[in-house]
């Protein structure tokens, strides 16, 4: 057998099945119509055939084409020698499709790179990660066309989804039924980075109430540099008529009352188009339950509600703790809606720009749980929630180019050196260390003459839904 070997150190992880160490790892090849033994010159004809023989440290290289099959993991890799399933040219030229679950992950230390996974709108998840799927990496993958959740993650640890595209998770049953981009239960350590999720009938990401026997819910979730959006369907799709905005939220959190407080960080992320849908109070970020959320450098536009933040209720006796900082919101019906006497809501160094019909909205809630400081509002008046002297209402001249939603401050802006020091906000949304001048500036940006003004993330040109 001709093999292309790659040097690889092997180790055995005690919690997983022991596999004898080998001096070298192997690359196995798969090609459409292949009938061989997995060598470079005589590839397998199915992806599953490659996974059946792959040992820790091995890579299954899949050549361009369409593979009509369901695949599943067979054995664990290890920390120093994961099993890798990769498109040979790394450009999503490989499509694995079946009218059902496409990929089932039940083993640890597994990496998937460069594949397109397509469930053809079957009533099943495209990617299903079981309790054994620890230390999973989905990188540069496209996951699409499910009548259920596109990616479902169970009670596992250390899942990374990065530089990927997840879309068309749609279920029109009973008018609209949840089909999420990513849904996770009691996952410990989920990172979603540099990923775009759009066109779903549930949420882009839902963290749900599923626990374990010890009531351990989800924890240590990081979402960064992502894009979440909805738009009216251009044409009829899986039971939805053209023009429908089928989804709910960009992120929705649910935690069992008896689980520890779930920690989530959302940063440098954009969300738009969460309006005009099939539900009331549609929001980009619906943060509730027993959570501790830090939201830093987020941009929201073209939505009915930017942030819907909820305190304790009868079904959820522990309300959310939420800290929003360095955020920019514009073209929204309500920027921040707070509910149920939320007890711990901090809104710091945030900019509310053009087209914000209402800055804050109370829903069955007092405002004494709010801490609002260093917030700048484009307009003539401040909302009653922004009573602190560090908050400012300013005119168009305070910003570089509000017409194109560039809300960096001008040198003459009243917001420069007008804020209060907040120890938890050490940089602005562009990474400039605060303060640059005498004291903190007000809003999401710090004006710093020594380095010039930084360039904000430009809004996408995708068609959005206005509230």
pLDDT digits (tens, 9 = 90+) for 263-293: 999 999 999 999 999 999 999 999 999 999 9
User: Which stretch of 13-17, 148-152, 305-309 has the lowest confidence by average pLDDT?
Assistant: 13-17
- The tens digit of pLDDT for each residue in 423-449 reads 999 999 999 999 999 999 999 999 998
Higher pLDDT, 300 or 10: 300
- Residue 451's pLDDT band (boundaries 50, 70, 90)? low
Is residue 23 scored above 90 in pLDDT? no
233-238: average pLDDT: 98
pTM: 0.92
pLDDT, average across residues 241-261: 93
Give the pLDDT confidence of 348-358 residue by residue, as tens digits.
Answer: 999 999 999 99
The pLDDT value recorded for residue 21 is 45
Sign for the pseudo-dihedral over CA of 84, 88, 92, 96: negative
- pLDDT score of 91: 80
The mean pLDDT value for 103-131 works out to 98
In this structure, the number of other CB atoms found within 10 A of the CB of residue 89 comes to 13
CA 9 vs. chain centroid, Å, equals 33
Q: Is the pLDDT of residue 312 over 70?
A: yes
The pLDDT value recorded for residue 336 is: 98
Domains of the chain: 1-118 (no CATH), 119-405 (2.160.20.10)
Please give the pLDDT value at position 458: 40
Q: Cα(53)–Cα(330) distance, rounded to whole angstroms?
A: 53
Token pair listed for 398: 């305070």
**What is the model's pLDDT at position 457?**
40
CA angle 148, 152, 155 (to 5 degrees): 145
Average pLDDT over residues 83-92: 92
CA nearest to 128, candidates 73, 205, 84: 73
d(CA 290, CA 209): 10
Q: What is the mean pLDDT of residues 79-96?
A: 94
Residue 11's pLDDT is: 30
pLDDT of residue 453: 55
Q: What mean pLDDT value characterizes the chain?
A: 91
- Residues paired with residue 361 on neighbouring β-strands, in sequence order: 337
Beta bridge partners of 116: 95, 142
Higher-scoring residue by pLDDT: 309, 91: 309
Q: What are phi and psi of 200, to 5 degrees?
A: -145, 160
Distance CA 176, CA 179 (A): 9
Is residue 9 scored above 80 in pLDDT? no
The pLDDT tens digits of the residues spanning 400-416 come to 999 999 999 999 999 99
What span, in angstroms and rounded, lies between the C-alpha atoms of 118 and 95?
Answer: 7
pLDDT of residue 405: 98
Q: Give the pair of three-digit tokens for residue 27.
A: 């690359």
Q: How far out from the chain centre does Cα 175 lie?
A: 26
Extract the tokens encoding 2.
């001709």
Using the predicted structure, report yes or no on whether residue 214 has a pLDDT greater than 80: no
With a CB cutoff of 8 Å and minimum separation 6, the contacts of 255 are 207, 209, 217, 218, 261, 262, 289, 290, 291, 316, 318
pLDDT for the residue numbered 460: 38
| 464 — pLDDT class (breaks 50, 70, 90) | very low
Sign, Cα dihedral of 423, 427, 428, 432: positive
- Has residue 307 got a pLDDT over 70? yes
């Amino acid at each position: 057998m001709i093999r292309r070997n790659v040097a690889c150190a092997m180790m055995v992880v005690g919690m997983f099945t022991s596999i004898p160490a080998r001096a070298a790892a192997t690359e196995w090849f798969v090609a459409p119509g292949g009938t061989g033994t997995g060598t470079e010159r005589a590839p397998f004809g199915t992806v599953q055939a490659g996974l059946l023989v792959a040992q820790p440290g091995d890579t299954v290289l899949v050549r361009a084409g369409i593979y009509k099959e369901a695949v599943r993991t067979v054995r664990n890799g290890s920390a120093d020698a994961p099993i890798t399933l990769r498109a040979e040219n790394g450009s999503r030229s490989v499509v694995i499709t079946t009218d059902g679950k496409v990929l089932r992950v039940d083993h640890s230390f597994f990496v998937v790179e460069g594949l397109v996974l397509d469930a053809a709108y079957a009533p099943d998840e495209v990617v299903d990660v079981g309790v054994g799927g620890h230390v999973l990496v989905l990188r540069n993958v496209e996951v699409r066309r499910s009548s259920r959740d596109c990616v479902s993650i169970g009670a596992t640890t250390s899942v990374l989804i990065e530089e990927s595209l997840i879309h068309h998770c749609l279920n029109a049953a009973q008018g609209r039924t949840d089909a999420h981009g990513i849904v996770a239960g009691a996952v410990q350590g989920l990172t979603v980075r540099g990923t775009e999720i759009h066109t779903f009938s549930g949420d882009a990401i839902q963290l749900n109430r599923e626990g374990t026997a010890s009531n351990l819910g989800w924890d240590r979730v990081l979402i960064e540099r992502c894009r979440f959006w909805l738009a009216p369907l251009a044409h009829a799709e899986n039971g939805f008529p053209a023009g429908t905005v089928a989804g709910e939220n960009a992120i929705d959190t649910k935690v069992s009352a008896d689980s520890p407080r779930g920690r989530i960080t959302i940063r440098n992320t954009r969300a738009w188009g969460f309006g005009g849908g099939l539900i009331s109070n549609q929001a980009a970020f619906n943060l509730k339950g027993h959570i501790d959320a830090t939201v830093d450098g987020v941009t929201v536009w073209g939505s009915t509600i930017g942030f819907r933040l909820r305190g304790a209720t009868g079904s959820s006796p522990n309300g959310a703790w939420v800290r929003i900082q360095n955020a920019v919101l514009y073209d929204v019906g309500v920027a921040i809606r707070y509910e149920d006497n939320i007890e711990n809501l901090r809104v710091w160094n945030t900019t509310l720009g053009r087209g914000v019909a209402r800055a804050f909205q109370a829903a069955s809630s007092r405002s004494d749980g709010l801490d609002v400081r260093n917030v700048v509002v484009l307009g003539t008046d401040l909302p009653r929630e922004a009573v602190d002297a560090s908050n400012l209402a300013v005119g168009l001249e305070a910003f570089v180019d509000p017409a194109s939603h560039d809300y960096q401050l001008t040198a003459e802006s009243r917001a420069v050196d007008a804020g209060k020091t907040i120890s938890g906000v050490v940089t602005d949304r562009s990474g400039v260390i605060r303060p640059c001048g005498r004291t903190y500036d007000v809003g999401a940006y710090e004006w710093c003459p020594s380095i010039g003004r930084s360039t904000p993330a430009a809004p996408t040109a995708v068609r959005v839904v206005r509230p």
